[in-house]
Structure 1
């Protein structure tokens, strides 16, 4: 199977929420169930991708991710939202709704 590039992942019409996390990060562990619930609520209206910063230093560095968790939302290859720290489900739903 061909490896999908980061650009391929973010180029679609469906908004892509990316969670940059680390296994050793306490807030990241608290954030994970929030994101899983959001994905369940939103269904096919969004894609959820989790990127372990320790396993993907190249993309982490390229995007300037310095704190975990960092949330980014892309649509059609463009960054539409970026925030460091745990975000509320409502904040994320509001940002995704803008892209619908």
Structure 2
């Protein structure tokens, strides 16, 4: 299951991770986010132990959404070494996300 990422744990979970990190910025009211959600859950299972996969609810956690300029959701950011190394805005097929992670492993 994808980790719940919040403003409180973002620094430790995402920025200080020694593994690549995929963060899905989403909201409960967002239709396209509900399409991406199950894909993110699948990826979190498949990459367990190899990468960190999490979801950040932008309504409840606005600090890092604002910091990284997330204006449209869903937005998926890829992090490596505490830096953003990839961005996917809107719904994309699963392989777009898995190829991004594979490129960082």
Match of 1:26 in 2: 31
* Number of residue equivalences: 98
How far 1:12 sits from its partner (Å)? 1.7
Match of 2:79 in 1: 74
Superimposed CA distance per residue, residues 21-49 of structure 1 (whole angstroms, 9 cap, x where no aligned partner)? 01100010111111111112222111111
1:1-100 matches, cutoff 5 A: 5-10=9-14, 11-100=16-105
How far 1:77 sits from its partner (Å)? 0.3
Superimposed CA distance per residue, residues 64-89 of structure 1 (whole angstroms, 9 cap, x where no aligned partner)? 10011000011110111111111221
Runs of 4+ displaced beyond 6 Å: none
Distance in 2 between residues matched to 1:95 and 1:52, nearest whole Å: 22
RMSD: 1.5
Distance in 2 between residues matched to 1:4 and 1:65, nearest whole Å: 18
| Higher-helix-fraction structure | 1
Report the structure number with the largest CA radius of gyration. 1
Structure 2 residue ranges without an equivalent (≥5) = 1-6
